[in-house]
Amino acid sequence: MDNLTSKVALVTGGSRGLGREIALGLANEGCDVAVHFNADKQSADAVVDEIKAKGRRAVAIGADLSDPARAAELVRMVGASLGSIDVLVNNAGINPSRTIDQVSGQDWERSLQVNLSPAFHTTQTALPEMRRRKWGRLIFISSIAAQTGGIIGPHYAASKAGLIGLAHYYANALAKEGITANVLAPALIETDMITNNPAIKPTLIPVGRFGQPDEVASVAVNLARNGYITGQTININGGWYMSS
């Protein structure tokens, strides 16, 4: 397993929920961490303070990642503040719930703009330095919805499925360059992203409870340390979806 001390990590959507726990988990392993946020600067600053209290460098950077130019600029800003990115966690996303009758073309486009396209733009911008150093970890936060269709809507399921295809391409293309690409597919993790949907209940999960953010973060950290696992989708779903 690789040592992450002094590696630089960027976690998009890192101000709360899964992103927050992953950022803190990487800091515990010795990473310096850039915490991206869209609007909640206060929460991002709080995460930065926690990371600095662990003795690591950290910075909060705001950006609307639906703008491709801002997504690319985010990576460059991290480089200027902390150094070139070693671990890129593409976590930022939205999950507005829509039925078949409700979902609109605007919902579709917005989901792709926020959930899928930024992962491409940040990765493409970070890759040249990773390839030059022959070391990198790409981690994409997808969802069980990519595998089963889920309960949020077709716009969400498709955007999250796209992340799996994106990771597969990078894993195959970069396998000989010391760069891994993997996906986490969580289900019903207890964050603010599931609190406003009455259809989301712990009884949907075979283990009978919601997952906890640190249960996802621990897997992300292990993927960052492991140079042999690549091209995989790791299910963290309490047994809801089982793949061979």
Q: Give the right CATH number for 8-236 from 1.10.645.10, 3.40.50.620, 3.50.50.60, 3.40.50.720.
A: 3.40.50.720
Domain boundaries, the chain: 8-236
Q: How far apart are CA 76 and CA 204, in angstroms?
A: 42
Q: Is 83 exposed, middle or buried (0-12, 13-18, 19+ CB in 10 A)?
A: middle
Give the tens place of pLDDT for each residue, 16-57. 999 999 999 999 999 999 999 999 999 999 999 999 999 999
Say whether 83 sits in a helix, a strand or coil: coil
Per-block mean pLDDT, blocks of 10 residues, the chain (244 long) = 96 97 98 97 98 98 97 98 98 94 96 98 98 98 96 96 98 98 95 72 90 97 98 96 85
Q: How far apart are CA 51 and CA 101, in angstroms?
A: 44
Residue 169 falls in the annotated catalytic set: no
Give the tens place of pLDDT for each residue, 75-86. 999 999 999 999
Neighbours of 72 (CB within 10 A): 18
Which residue out of 156, 169, 170, 228 is catalytically annotated?
Answer: 156
H or E element that contains 186: strand 179-186
